[in-house]
Amino acid sequence: MSKATRMTKQKKVILDILRNTDCHPSADWVYEQARKLVPDISLGTVYRNLNVLRDSGHILELNYGSTYSRYDGHAENHYHFYCEKCHQLFNVKIPVYEGLDKLVKETTGFDVKNHRMEFYGLCNDCKASLSSSSSM
Protein backbone atom coordinates (compact mmCIF):
# COMPACT_ATOMS: atom_id res chain seq x y z
CA MET A 1 0.00 0.00 0.00
CA SER A 2 2.72 2.45 0.92
CA LYS A 3 6.12 3.28 -0.55
CA ALA A 4 9.38 1.53 0.22
CA THR A 5 9.72 2.92 3.78
CA ARG A 6 13.32 2.54 4.74
CA MET A 7 13.93 1.86 8.42
CA THR A 8 16.28 4.57 9.62
CA LYS A 9 17.71 5.18 13.05
CA GLN A 10 15.58 8.30 13.36
CA LYS A 11 12.31 6.61 12.49
CA LYS A 12 13.00 3.76 14.91
CA VAL A 13 13.75 6.16 17.76
CA ILE A 14 10.58 8.16 17.16
CA LEU A 15 8.41 5.06 17.08
CA ASP A 16 10.06 3.70 20.23
CA ILE A 17 9.45 6.94 22.09
CA LEU A 18 5.77 6.93 21.19
CA ARG A 19 5.35 3.25 22.01
CA ASN A 20 6.86 3.70 25.45
CA THR A 21 4.92 6.66 26.72
CA ASP A 22 1.40 6.78 28.03
CA CYS A 23 0.96 10.49 27.51
CA HIS A 24 -0.04 12.02 24.19
CA PRO A 25 2.92 14.16 23.27
CA SER A 26 3.31 16.95 20.76
CA ALA A 27 5.80 16.80 17.90
CA ASP A 28 8.05 19.12 19.86
CA TRP A 29 8.11 16.87 22.91
CA VAL A 30 9.00 13.90 20.71
CA TYR A 31 11.77 16.01 19.20
CA GLU A 32 13.22 16.86 22.62
CA GLN A 33 13.18 13.20 23.65
CA ALA A 34 14.66 12.05 20.34
CA ARG A 35 17.52 14.52 20.67
CA LYS A 36 18.70 12.68 23.78
CA LEU A 37 19.27 9.60 21.63
CA VAL A 38 20.09 11.18 18.27
CA PRO A 39 21.53 14.59 19.14
CA ASP A 40 21.59 15.98 15.63
CA ILE A 41 18.09 14.93 14.62
CA SER A 42 16.11 17.81 13.15
CA LEU A 43 12.57 18.92 13.87
CA GLY A 44 11.73 18.55 10.18
CA THR A 45 12.71 14.90 10.30
CA VAL A 46 10.50 14.36 13.32
CA TYR A 47 7.53 15.85 11.50
CA ARG A 48 8.27 13.87 8.36
CA ASN A 49 8.48 10.60 10.23
CA LEU A 50 5.39 11.31 12.29
CA ASN A 51 3.50 11.76 9.05
CA VAL A 52 4.94 8.60 7.55
CA LEU A 53 4.09 6.58 10.65
CA ARG A 54 0.60 8.03 10.71
CA ASP A 55 0.04 7.21 7.05
CA SER A 56 1.23 3.65 7.53
CA GLY A 57 -1.13 3.22 10.47
CA HIS A 58 1.52 2.78 13.14
CA ILE A 59 0.51 5.79 15.20
CA LEU A 60 -2.50 8.07 15.58
CA GLU A 61 -2.50 11.81 15.07
CA LEU A 62 -4.90 13.56 17.46
CA ASN A 63 -5.71 17.03 16.29
CA TYR A 64 -8.55 18.20 18.46
CA GLY A 65 -8.54 20.33 21.57
CA SER A 66 -5.66 22.63 20.73
CA THR A 67 -3.76 24.31 17.95
CA TYR A 68 -1.16 21.59 17.55
CA SER A 69 -1.31 17.84 16.99
CA ARG A 70 -0.56 15.19 19.56
CA TYR A 71 0.47 11.65 18.75
CA ASP A 72 -0.46 8.27 20.16
CA GLY A 73 1.77 5.23 19.69
CA HIS A 74 -1.09 2.83 20.29
CA ALA A 75 -2.95 2.68 17.03
CA GLU A 76 -5.89 0.50 18.07
CA ASN A 77 -8.96 2.67 18.28
CA HIS A 78 -9.78 4.02 21.73
CA TYR A 79 -11.45 7.13 23.06
CA HIS A 80 -9.92 10.21 24.64
CA PHE A 81 -10.74 12.75 27.29
CA TYR A 82 -9.52 16.32 26.94
CA CYS A 83 -9.25 18.47 30.05
CA GLU A 84 -10.37 21.99 29.17
CA LYS A 85 -8.34 23.48 32.00
CA CYS A 86 -4.90 21.80 31.91
CA HIS A 87 -5.19 20.68 28.27
CA GLN A 88 -4.04 17.15 29.00
CA LEU A 89 -5.31 14.20 26.98
CA PHE A 90 -6.29 10.99 28.77
CA ASN A 91 -7.25 7.56 27.51
CA VAL A 92 -10.82 6.50 28.20
CA LYS A 93 -11.15 2.84 29.02
CA ILE A 94 -14.62 2.07 27.76
CA PRO A 95 -15.18 -0.40 24.93
CA VAL A 96 -15.13 0.91 21.38
CA TYR A 97 -18.58 0.70 19.82
CA GLU A 98 -17.72 -0.98 16.53
CA GLY A 99 -21.39 -1.24 15.68
CA LEU A 100 -21.62 2.52 15.30
CA ASP A 101 -19.74 2.43 12.00
CA LYS A 102 -22.28 -0.01 10.61
CA LEU A 103 -25.17 2.11 11.88
CA VAL A 104 -23.82 5.23 10.22
CA LYS A 105 -23.12 3.28 7.04
CA GLU A 106 -26.78 2.24 6.94
CA THR A 107 -27.99 5.74 7.78
CA THR A 108 -25.87 7.68 5.32
CA GLY A 109 -24.89 5.14 2.69
CA PHE A 110 -21.29 6.29 3.08
CA ASP A 111 -18.32 3.96 3.25
CA VAL A 112 -17.58 4.35 6.97
CA LYS A 113 -14.16 3.07 7.97
CA ASN A 114 -13.79 4.13 11.59
CA HIS A 115 -14.74 6.76 14.10
CA ARG A 116 -13.28 8.77 16.93
CA MET A 117 -14.79 10.03 20.13
CA GLU A 118 -13.53 12.65 22.53
CA PHE A 119 -14.97 13.66 25.86
CA TYR A 120 -14.54 17.16 27.25
CA GLY A 121 -14.58 18.49 30.79
CA LEU A 122 -12.31 18.71 33.81
CA CYS A 123 -9.88 16.04 34.98
CA ASN A 124 -9.59 15.05 38.64
CA ASP A 125 -6.82 17.47 39.53
CA CYS A 126 -8.46 20.46 37.87
CA LYS A 127 -11.86 19.59 39.30
CA ALA A 128 -10.31 19.51 42.79
CA SER A 129 -8.45 22.77 42.39
CA LEU A 130 -11.68 24.47 41.36
CA SER A 131 -13.84 23.15 44.18
CA SER A 132 -11.28 24.22 46.77
CA SER A 133 -11.82 27.76 45.48
CA SER A 134 -8.28 28.91 44.77
CA SER A 135 -5.54 26.40 45.42
CA MET A 136 -2.74 28.95 45.80
Partner DNA sequence: TTACTTGCAAACGCTTTGCACGCAC
Partner DNA sequence: GTGCGTGCAAAGCGTTTGCAAGTAA
Total chain residues near DNA (CB under 7 A):
29
Residue 7 makes contact with DNA by CB under 7 A: yes
Burial of 26 (0-12, 13-18, 19+ CB in 10 A): middle
Q: List Cβ neighbours of 85 (8 Å cut-off, separation of 6 or more).
A: 122, 123, 126, 130
Comparing CB distances to its own copies, the nearer of 10 and 69 is 69
Residue 114 makes contact with its own copies by CB under 8 A: yes
Window 13-42: residues binding DNA (CB under 7 A)? 26-28, 38, 40-42
- Of the candidate spans 15-23, 24-32, 50-58, 98-106, the one that interacts with its own copies by CB under 8 A turns out to be 98-106
Element (H, E) at 106: helix 99-108
Residue 8 makes contact with DNA by CB under 7 A: yes
Element (H, E) at 82: strand 79-83
User: What is the residue-wise DSSP string for 36-65?
Assistant: HHSTT--HHHHHHHHHHHHHTTSSEEE--S
Residue 127 makes contact with its own copies by CB under 8 A: yes
Residue 100 makes contact with its own copies by CB under 8 A: yes
Comparing C-alpha atoms, which of 11, 48, 19, 46 is closest to residue 32? 46
Residue 83 makes contact with its own copies by CB under 8 A: yes
Window 47-76: residues binding its own copies (CB under 8 A)? 63-65
Q: Least CB distance from residue 56 to DNA, whole Å?
A: 10
* Residues at the site binding DNA, with contacts judged by CB under 7 A: 3-11, 26-28, 38, 40-45, 47-52, 63, 67-69
